[in-house]
Each structure stands twice: as C-alpha cells, then as structure tokens.
Amino acid sequence: MTEPNALPVTVVQDRTLRVKIIDACGLACTFCHNEGTPVTTDNIGRPAGQFTGAPGRSGRVSIYLATNGAGFLPERISADEDFALALAAVRGSLPTTEVHFTGGEPTLHPELPQLVRIARRIGLTVGLTSNGENGAAVLPECAAAGLDRINLSVFGTTPEELAAVQAPRLASSKLAQRKLDALAATIDSASRHGVKVSANIVIPDHDHVARVLRVIEEHGRAVTVRMLVNLEDDGTSLAAMREVVDRLGAVPVRRIVTAGASDQRIRYRLPDGRTLYAKSIRPVRLPDTCAGCRFDEERDCQEGYYGVRMYRARNGPFMIGVCIQRMDLCLTLGEFVMSRRCAEVRTFREEETARLTALYASASAMR
C-alpha cells in the first residue's frame, strides 16, 4: 500500500447529517454499535441509567452502551412535517448538503420512500447504509423518490461467515443464506434503478482477506468495494488491507480527506479499471468538546469526531449527537442549534478545510 503522503489529495468538507430513522434490524451482529443507542425493544420500561447493551430477547447488542451514557431510547422517525422541520433546522445552523439514513436497518422503515422525498424536497442528497435484507422490495420506489446511493454493509459472503457473527438465535446457515440472497437482490435492484451501490467491508485481519476478494469477484461489476479499518485496529487491519491491494495489483491514485470529520480514504484503480477504496480513521477531535474526554487516548477514542447524528427520542424530541462513545453529549435539537457546540462544529469544519487545503497544496508544490 503506497504511503498516503505520496498521493495527490482531495479535501472535501463534511456536510453530511446522519439520521437514525429506525432501530429495528433483522440481523444481530455481535459487534454492532447501533449508532450509540440502546436496542429499544430490549430496554422498554427501563429508566435512563439502567439501559443495557448486552444481548436481550432480540439477541442484538450496542457495544458502547456500558460506558457511553445514553439517556434515551430511539424511536422510528415518521415521514411528517416534524421531520422536515428538523432537517431544515439543522441545515439552517450547519451547512448541510446530504442526509444519510442509518438504523437499525433503514430498508425496514415502512415510510422510507417518503423520508427520501422529504429530504430531497428541501434540497438534500440522500444516501443510506443497509445490510440489504429488504432493499429489493423498497429500492424501486426509493429511487423514484430521489435516493442517490446505498452503502451495503457486508458481514459475510458465505452462510457460515455471516452466521458466525450473529447472536445464537440467528446463527443459522439457512437463515444466513436467505440474508445473502436478499443482499444480492438488493444489489440487482439498486443497479437496475440507477442507485449507486458500494459495499462496506470491515477487514480486521488476514483471515478476512479472502472474503474481500470474493466480494470484488462476485459483485465488483455492480458495486464499488470500500474496505474499512477495524475501529479497534492494532495494525493487523491495515496490514490485511495492504495484502488485498497487493494481491489485486491495485494502483493507488488519490487520497480523499474529509475536513471537519475523521473519515479518510484512498482510491485505488484495479487492473481492469474498476475502483477500490480503503477507508480509515483520522485522529480528529473537536477542539473544545473533546478536550479532556475520558476516551481521548489514541486507543480509547475509536471513531474520533465522525460528524453530526440526529435521533428521535422515544416519546420525546429530536436529539443531536456528536459521538457514539459519548451519548451523554447529546442535546435536543432546539438546544443544539443555539449551542456553542453547533458553532464549534461549524467553525471546525471551515478552519480544517482551509488548513488542510493549504497543507496539501503546499506539499504538492514541493513534490
């Protein structure tokens, strides 16, 4: 893997709002962070402070919940005027060009096309992250409503691989095969209806190299593959990425850095002209909000400052968060748009964009 500093760099400013539109999910992955929130169905009736992220009746987990101070249960966001006003309020306080729907599993939302339509109506590009379990059923209407792209989280390419990362009640190869068939149908539906498709694959170590190579072989014509570094990487994840790149003969062509958030990626060109991305985390912190945080050590803060997220509290207001490991930092939407934290995010985006643009322009001139 070519050193990132040797590549030309594109700096893009973070202008995305991630919105958790639903908590339900048909998988029960053992590593799920569930956007930092409790699994609602397993925590109904529990007061804040007693939420659990351990597997309940659903078998699902929320891995940061024991320490992140989450104070509300998420509920499904309705496709109504309240949602439109919430999006408009965020966009009015922070430059926002894209909304990205998350969950849970967004394709299980019964009003997903209507949510897409609302976001498009106020001028936002719309994407979503999905495991693909229900995409074939809803993507045609979502595409007609204006859905731009879908990022598919691929946890396995064989029934055995997918079953191995599920809670015991879902660890069935037969069920896993149905989920993989649904994923393939989602890819086909998205391609036929003009929705851009990428496959996100976390690659923790060498044992996952073959899985990435299979995805590229099976779906590479319709899907852009994005390898993601494991958030708990101790070097083995990056080494595995290098192995994939070397085995494919991929040539690095550009580094893309998101100013104002921790996302960065390297774009590769495969010998047949297809594109492959390797995505990793920059050690980005909000200057004031993250100062003195108990997770601010290099190995404790796993996602860095990744961007702004919106939730709807069960029987309550819209909430805005800036960290899935520090859900105690969440504010109500009304509080956030008037807060110093909102101003901090806005200023941080602008200042980092200017700094990184100047930095890489200077580095390019010196080469």
Give the tens place of pLDDT for each residue, 31-51: 999 999 999 999 999 999 999
pTM of the model: 0.94
Residue 221 pLDDT greater than 80, yes or no? no
Q: Which amino acid is at 204?
A: P
What residues form DSSP beta bridges with 258? Answer: 12
Q: What is the pLDDT of residue 194?
A: 96
What residues form DSSP beta bridges with 308? Answer: 17
Residue 104 pLDDT greater than 50, yes or no? yes
Task: Decide: 85 and 115 in contact? Cβ < 8 Å.
Answer: no
Q: What is the pLDDT of residue 215?
A: 79
Strands 308-312 and 275-281: unpaired
Residue among 86, 67, 66 at smallest CA distance from 78: 86
Q: What is the pLDDT of residue 362?
A: 72
3-state SS class at 45: coil
Band of the pLDDT at 4, cuts 50, 70, 90? low
Q: What is the pLDDT of residue 367?
A: 55
Tens of pLDDT, residue by residue over 326-342, are 999 999 999 999 999 99
Q: Which amino acid is at 187?
A: I
Tens of pLDDT, residue by residue over 229-265, are 776 666 788 888 889 999 999 999 999 999 999 999 9
Cis-peptide into 26, omega within 30 deg: no
Lowest-confidence segment of 3-17, 28-42, 318-332 by average pLDDT: 3-17
Q: What is the pLDDT of residue 8?
A: 95
Tens of pLDDT, residue by residue over 53-94, are 999 999 999 999 999 999 999 999 999 999 999 999 999 999
Q: What is the pLDDT of residue 364?
A: 58
Q: Largest Cα–Cα distance of the chain, in whole Å?
A: 61
Mean pLDDT in the chain?
92
Task: Decide: 287 and 304 in contact? Cβ < 8 Å.
Answer: no
Tens of pLDDT, residue by residue over 142-158, are 999 999 999 999 888 88
| Structural domains in the chain plus CATH codes | 4-366 (3.20.20.70)
Return the structure tokens found at 91.
């966009």
Q: What is the pLDDT of residue 340?
A: 98
